[in-house]
Amino acid sequence: MTDTDRTLDLACELIARASVTPEDAGCQALMMQRLEALGFHCTPLPFEDTQNFWAQWGTSGPLLAFAGHTDVVPPGPASEWDSDPFVPTVRDGLLYGRGAADMKGSLAAMIVACEDFLAKRKPQGSIGFLITSDEEGPATNGTVRVMQWLAERGINIDYCVVGEPSSSEALGDTIKNGRRGSLNAELKIHGRQGHVAYPQHADNPLHGALPALGELITRQWDQGNEYFPATSFQITNLHTGTGATNVIPGHVDLLLNFRFSTEQTSNSLQEAVEKTLADHSVKADIQWKLSGDPFITAEGELTNACRAAVLEVTGIETQLSTSGGTSDGRFIAPYGAQLVELGPINASIHRVNEHVRVDDLPKLAAMYEGILRRLLPEN
């Protein structure tokens, strides 16, 4: 059986399991079966409604872990797909199905990479798998809980490869070696409701808030740095009023988001927003939620191994990037691991007719095997 067949067959088996967050639908059992056959010790770690597992081959250092998720986002109406989203279908060299790119193709490639690597070598060090069914949802009972479990047992990941779809135009052209932080806020800005004909008896909260919001929108928060673009501020939702044209609203509800670099902290951003509102005498209740702090893996052993593996398989000189949204890497990097995200082309993720190139699956497995080979040399 060729590598194409092995990675494709396993990817299809995973896609066929309708594992919409937080359901796992048997994906992890399938993965653990393959890993146990290689000598991995697998530990299921269910927390609340989320299925997770940790698998480990070997006990010595260094420890290289593959991390990923078996859950997928809802496919939406099946009628909008050209084929059933949970019936893996190959057309014109592409594998279609929900999760093909995000990230069941990567999970299949990780397993095949380990099968190939361990069939040829008995390496120094250890290999781990950290898999969750909670990445696409609230992310409260998945990777974050598994990392706590590992820390309690003194298990420290040295290198981590997350299988998120990092590539832009061609497999391996981009590797994520960090992510921006994400900070959200819900604001209720208070005023006093009244008739528009008698504004002296009311206090329009939107009018009062606009100068402060304008200042926040136009502010240059920082210049970024060698790894990150400048911090960005976005108002993502604004609602006010009763629906009537003759009523001054009594309050404004507002949602906002920061995507921030290591030039900022969540505390510095919160303080700046609260001070700006106070300077403009805006009365507001604010609920802050930090989705994740920024993290970065500087160029070193892991990024060098990834670059060399990509070059070996595809001939591409890969680029390092911190663009895009958050990932579960934000829960792993703070424990000191060097971490990268390397996976398929991301153009179709979360979309109707999500797909991955069939020929990219064995190439991705070969990249992962190349990383193992470079970081876990033979005894």
Q: Residues marked as binding for Zn(2+)?
A: 69, 102, 136, 164, 350
Which residue is catalytic, options 71, 115, 116, 354?
A: 71
The amino acid sitting at 366 is: A
* CB neighbour burial string for 197-206, b if at least 16 within 10 angstroms, e if fewer: eeeeebbbbb
**Is 23 one of the catalytic residues?**
no
Which residue is catalytic, options 24, 116, 134, 135?
A: 135
Cα separations in angstroms, 297 against 31, 176, 334, 340: 28, 9, 11, 7
C-alpha span between 102 and 301 (Å, rounded): 26
List the Cα angle 228/145/27 in 5-degree steps. Answer: 95
φ/ψ bin of 251: left (φ > 0), alpha (ψ from -120 to 50), beta (otherwise): beta
Contact 322, 330 (CB under 8 A): no
For residue 164, give both structure tokens: 């998120």
φ/ψ bin of 85: left (φ > 0), alpha (ψ from -120 to 50), beta (otherwise): alpha
**Is 317 one of the catalytic residues?**
no
Residues noted as catalytic: 71, 135
